[in-house]
A = this chain, B = another copy of it.
Amino acid sequence: MMTLIARQRTDPEETRCRILEVAENFFRSIGYQKTSVADIASELGMSPANIYRFFPSKGAINECICGRIVKEVAEIAFAIARSSDPAPEKLTRLLTAIHEHNKATLIKEKRAHEMVAVAMQENWSTIKAHLEQMTTIIEGVIREGVAAGDFDVDDPAEAARSVKAAFVPFLHPLMIEHCLRFHDDTEERLREQLRFILRGLGKRS
């Protein structure tokens, strides 16, 4: 009877969201490894058993957080891909926006590295699906550019893979950090790389 009343009082979806929010704060502040399900439960005034009703493990919580992070990135890319700019400008804006977003969310906080590393190990299918989605979005922009005569490319899917690979130092969380450390002039390097990529797509400057 008690359980029934408690269940009616809080929306399960809301509880799930609160668990994810609190867990993400812990992962970003004290780190994924050092956070226990008991810490998350205690912060929410819940029992660990209650958390396990929503997520079977800490890994399952991290997978959800990881899924949310990559969904955010994909939405940024989609929004720019849907805009009406010419393809070269769109591609430049899209790559720059994701670089800025990853820098802000995955680099500033030192602990976020650990989340990325864990996701790479444990949620590879989420990351892989995300990378494929990003390549597809880029391919769409390249196709538009070819249709408009801005790009000269035989195989837009191949070109999209090459563009993504050529931009890895500015996209991959671990590489952005090395890049920021190696160069005082990351902004200028970013512009250089975007110019080089547009040339690789056959855009004459």
Chain A interface residues (CB < 8 Å from chain B): 120, 124, 128, 131, 158-159, 161-163, 165-166, 168-170, 172, 174-175, 178, 181-182, 189, 192-193, 195-197, 199-202
Contact = CB atoms under 8 A, between A and B. Distances in A.
30 contacts: A120-B178, A128-B182, A131-B182, A158-B192, A159-B196, A161-B189, A161-B192, A162-B192, A162-B193, A162-B195, A162-B196, A163-B196, A165-B166, A165-B169, A165-B170, A165-B189, A165-B193, A165-B196, A166-B166, A166-B200, A168-B168, A172-B178, A175-B175, A196-B200, A197-B200, A199-B199, A199-B200, A199-B201, A199-B202, A200-B200
When all copies of this chain in the complex are counted, the total is 2
A182 to B, nearest CB: 6
